[in-house]
Chains A and B, each alone.
Chain A
């Protein structure tokens, strides 16, 4: 019984569950805000009805998704104090500031202007109304920066000193904190990955309609934009992913070793990247693998003959540094999450490149399986995003703040296992039920397709936007 009521284990499950769940909605919010802003800009500049249709259509999906991002986000902020109060006491002086910036600078902007965007179609001049969706986008992107800067402190703690008397970390430079090399790399990596998720959605939805030969007027340009956006943001995600792995290897060599499940230190060709491995469940010995020589050396050091430290070596180093203990993350999670992230990311770029070729100059592939592959772009891009986040957070274990605070030392000492079990069950039930509703509503909106607009104005020939009400 007591094993089941371990506050640490339950709090970790709850934080993992609520974070992964929250992070299903966030990438789509960030990516779709930008995508919808693009469609609306196209409409404002060209006055073409199809762009307005697309703005309303993807705007509706954006809004169904947005509410979930907001309400699950509050849970995230509260949980630091509720379940991780010792962590909050330890890092509050450092970690709180970027969180406060996120609220004051980013969330206010996003929340205010999204309301104006939804309800302002008939209340604001066209240009000003267009500005509201761009400000919403700006707010959502800024929020990503601040939260990633806060997270970067947990991965690579800098800009602090330890106050022994108060038993906490104290901020020494806000500039340094906000320019953490991990944050500078993970921010563009994450944002462009968000754009991959939203282009994945656009591709999926457009392919679904085009397969059925409906709404071709608007869905063809949508597909084109989606695929171009996927290729460009995919290339940029890869580029900054590479910068991130370099920064990560410097800050958290154990995470890189865990990503590769590499136990022995290796140099040059030996520092290979395995695409696929079959091995014993603990990953200690391998039975079969497909490997690319030098690649891990290149990812970690940007040279072909670099040395990448292995898990065994790092474990021994950490024991001498931090005392006895297990400093290795759960290897099968980091190993496979890293591969799925990269593999799915590359697959999406390929699908988009091939798709652009197949649809060039107004062509339309007849084979239905081509479209069916494209339809899977969205769920798998979301999955890639999710496993990427799981990798970065699980690769940090057993540390809450790398080298400073272990996860087990951050949990609230006064919250009982029973209380956490109650909250874990409550979140699981409510989140599960809402996921079903959310999924059905998005599917319903997607199936319905763009709503027909009112007849254009007989004098100017221009279409008028639709006004939203709750």
Chain B
């Protein structure tokens, strides 16, 4: 098999891993104002992702590094081209990450409020902008003959991309709320279930229009099939939420996100960064890639490392499988001081 094709799909898989995992972190962060009635509630919410947000974010670092190594031209064009958008994502991720760690270091309410706000912004902004960025990749951007982006920042804010951003925002929000219902107990769990149903309606409407637009404008029969499956999974997640089947709802939300990302990658293939002004300037899996030797080295590494990684990350989630409750959190808070 052609290694360029393999690595295109590995990059896709890494971004699927990132969006499925950090996606619920974003949703959990965004849900603070909706589900966190008091400080203890907010602590319960944050503790559902406390042990895993960092490992989930690491999927982005790995995806970025793999992109650099396997498709240097794609990495260079994308990161320099989307400069300001990525800057905003970086700043948001910085604020979110330190807030998880800083929030509980002092007891004052104003201190906590400040970091709660930063968690909400630091989660919502990347959730929106990742959708904007990936929609623009699929839609195509203006590239010169050296594959440098020649559009402006505002070109990225077109209706299709904004709809894509809204789609990821809502998908991640619902995904996170479902995750909270899966990981908590008592009142907050029930409120999360109800919120997941409400958010589910909006998510279905927006995500379905985005998937239809993607399929009609940039898709094929295959991508249409992925998009249709994504829609089916999303509706399935909604029904599962209605019946209070949290495990199913979460699994189906994860499947929805995976299939939606798959739809985007399938729409791209075999381009990686289509040029909207001149097809000759498009980056493809051929002209953007590293040498077969480098791809081979990377393939062997991935082949040996990824199964081990799946094992220990899966084991981690299993160790942390217990639900977080107000009683457990408050007991620990008392013993630790604040």
Which residues on A are within 8 Å of B, measured CB to CB? 63-64, 66-68, 70-75, 77-78, 80-83, 85-86, 88-89, 91-97, 99-105, 107-109, 111-116, 118-120, 123-124, 168, 170-172, 174, 412-415, 419, 422-423, 426, 430, 434, 437-438, 441, 444-445, 451, 454, 466-470
Taking CB atoms and an 8 Å cut-off, the chain B residues in 88-108 that contact chain A are: 90-91, 93-95, 97-98, 100-106
- Classify the interface of chain B: helix, strand, loop or mixed: helix
Q: Which B-chain residue is minimally distant from A96 (CB atoms)?
A: B69
Q: Are the CB atoms of A470 and B150 closer together than 8 Å?
A: no
Q: Which B-chain residue is minimally distant from A124 (CB atoms)?
A: B319
Total B residues in contact with A, Cβ cutoff 8 Å: 77
Taking CB atoms and an 8 Å cut-off, the chain B residues in 288-326 that contact chain A are: 290-291, 293-294, 297-298, 301-302, 305-306, 309, 312-313, 316, 319-320, 322
Query: Other CB < 8 Å A-B pairs besides A82-B83, A115-B54, 17 of them?
Result: A70-B54, A74-B57, A80-B75, A80-B79, A88-B76, A92-B68, A93-B291, A102-B65, A112-B313, A112-B316, A115-B316, A171-B290, A414-B150, A466-B336, A467-B332, A470-B47, A470-B101
A468 and B298 CA atoms in complex are apart in Å by: 38
User: Is B86 interfacial (CB 8 A cutoff)?
Assistant: yes
Q: Are the CB atoms of A107 and B62 closer together than 8 Å?
A: yes
A170 and B72 CA atoms in complex are apart in Å by: 11
Q: Are the CB atoms of A64 and B80 closer together than 8 Å?
A: no
Q: Are the CB atoms of B94 and A174 closer together than 8 Å?
A: no
* Partner among A99, A168, A469 whose Cβ is within 8 Å of the Cβ of B104: A469
* Partner among B52, B91, B97, B294 whose Cβ is within 8 Å of the Cβ of A170: B294
CB-CB under 8 A from B54, the residues of chain A are: 67, 70, 111, 114-115
Output the residue of A91, A93, A104, A107 with the most chain B CB within 10 A. Answer: A104
Q: Are the CB atoms of B293 and A171 closer together than 8 Å?
A: yes
Q: Are the CB atoms of B320 and A107 closer together than 8 Å?
A: no
* Partner among B46, B77, B103 whose Cβ is within 8 Å of the Cβ of A85: B77
Nearest-Cβ distance from residue B88 to partner chain A, whole angstroms: 9
Q: Are the CB atoms of B69 and A81 closer together than 8 Å?
A: no
User: Is B66 interfacial (CB 8 A cutoff)?
Assistant: yes
**Interface membership of chain B positions 38-58, coded 1 if the CB is closer than 8 angstroms to chain A and 0 otherwise:** 000001001100111011011
Q: Are the CB atoms of A171 and B297 closer together than 8 Å?
A: yes
A92 and B66 CA atoms in complex are apart in Å by: 10
Given A70-B57, A82-B79, A470-B50, also A96-B336 (CB < 8 A): no
Nearest-Cβ distance from residue A464 to partner chain B, whole angstroms: 10
A78 and B46 CA atoms in complex are apart in Å by: 27
A119 and B54 CA atoms in complex are apart in Å by: 13
A470 and B25 CA atoms in complex are apart in Å by: 14
CB-CB under 8 A from B159, the residues of chain A are: none
Q: Are the CB atoms of B309 and A119 closer together than 8 Å?
A: no
Q: Which A-chain residue is minimally distant from B300 (CB atoms)?
A: A174
Given A119-B51, A119-B320, A414-B150, also A74-B336 (CB < 8 A): no
Q: Are the CB atoms of B293 and A107 closer together than 8 Å?
A: no
Given A81-B80, A112-B312, A119-B51, also A104-B329 (CB < 8 A): no
Given A92-B290, A116-B316, also A108-B297 (CB < 8 A): no
A440 and B26 CA atoms in complex are apart in Å by: 28
Given A82-B87, A469-B329, A470-B43, also A441-B102 (CB < 8 A): yes
A281 and B139 CA atoms in complex are apart in Å by: 55
A172 and B297 CA atoms in complex are apart in Å by: 11
CB-CB under 8 A from B79, the residues of chain A are: 78, 80-82, 85, 88
Q: Are the CB atoms of B51 and A93 closer together than 8 Å?
A: no
Output the residue of B52, B106, B294, B298 with the most chain A CB within 10 A. Answer: B294
CB-CB under 8 A from B73, the residues of chain A are: 89, 92
User: Is B333 interfacial (CB 8 A cutoff)?
Assistant: yes
Q: Are the CB atoms of B65 and A99 closer together than 8 Å?
A: yes
A434 and B93 CA atoms in complex are apart in Å by: 13
Q: Are the CB atoms of A89 and B293 closer together than 8 Å?
A: no
Q: Which B-chain residue is minimally distant from A93 (CB atoms)?
A: B290
Nearest-Cβ distance from residue A470 to partner chain B, whole angstroms: 4
Q: Are the CB atoms of A414 and B148 closer together than 8 Å?
A: yes
Given A82-B83, A100-B68, also A115-B51 (CB < 8 A): yes
Which residues on B are within 8 Å of A, measured CB to CB? 43, 46-47, 50-52, 54-55, 57-58, 60-62, 64-66, 68-73, 75-81, 83-84, 86-87, 90-91, 93-95, 97-98, 100-106, 144, 146, 148-150, 153, 290-291, 293-294, 297-298, 301-302, 305-306, 309, 312-313, 316, 319-320, 322, 328-329, 332-333, 335-337
Nearest-Cβ distance from residue B148 to partner chain A, whole angstroms: 4
A103 and B101 CA atoms in complex are apart in Å by: 22
A78 and B126 CA atoms in complex are apart in Å by: 15
Nearest-Cβ distance from residue B321 to partner chain A, whole angstroms: 9
Q: Are the CB atoms of B68 and A108 closer together than 8 Å?
A: no
Nearest-Cβ distance from residue B5 to partner chain A, whole angstroms: 18
Given A115-B54, A437-B102, also A104-B47 (CB < 8 A): no
Nearest-Cβ distance from residue B332 to partner chain A, whole angstroms: 4
Q: Are the CB atoms of B84 and A419 closer together than 8 Å?
A: yes
* Partner among A68, A108, A445 whose Cβ is within 8 Å of the Cβ of B58: A108
Nearest-Cβ distance from residue A420 to partner chain B, whole angstroms: 8
Q: Are the CB atoms of A104 and B148 closer together than 8 Å?
A: no
CB-CB under 8 A from B149, the residues of chain A are: 414
A419 and B154 CA atoms in complex are apart in Å by: 13
* 28 contacts across the A-B interface (CB closer than 8 A): A64-B102, A67-B54, A67-B100, A67-B101, A70-B54, A70-B97, A78-B64, A81-B79, A88-B68, A92-B69, A93-B72, A94-B294, A95-B68, A96-B294, A99-B69, A100-B301, A103-B62, A104-B301, A104-B306, A108-B309, A112-B312, A113-B312, A115-B316, A118-B51, A413-B148, A426-B87, A444-B105, A470-B100
CB-CB under 8 A from A426, the residues of chain B are: 87, 91
Q: Are the CB atoms of B62 and A104 closer together than 8 Å?
A: yes
Nearest-Cβ distance from residue A237 to partner chain B, whole angstroms: 28
* Partner among A78, A115, A444, A470 whose Cβ is within 8 Å of the Cβ of B55: A115
Nearest-Cβ distance from residue A320 to partner chain B, whole angstroms: 31
A174 and B103 CA atoms in complex are apart in Å by: 43
A159 and B183 CA atoms in complex are apart in Å by: 49
CB-CB under 8 A from A68, the residues of chain B are: 98
Q: Are the CB atoms of B298 and A97 closer together than 8 Å?
A: yes
* Partner among A100, A423, A430 whose Cβ is within 8 Å of the Cβ of B62: A100
CB-CB under 8 A from A82, the residues of chain B are: 79-80, 83, 86-87
Q: Are the CB atoms of A80 and B47 closer together than 8 Å?
A: no
CB-CB under 8 A from A112, the residues of chain B are: 55, 58, 312-313, 316
* Partner among B101, B305, B319 whose Cβ is within 8 Å of the Cβ of A63: B101
Given A93-B72, A119-B50, A451-B337, also A73-B294 (CB < 8 A): no
10 nearest CB pairs, A to B: A92-B72, A81-B79, A96-B69, A103-B62, A85-B80, A115-B51, A67-B101, A85-B76, A119-B51, A71-B97
Q: Are the CB atoms of A103 and B61 closer together than 8 Å?
A: yes
Q: Are the CB atoms of A415 and B83 closer together than 8 Å?
A: yes
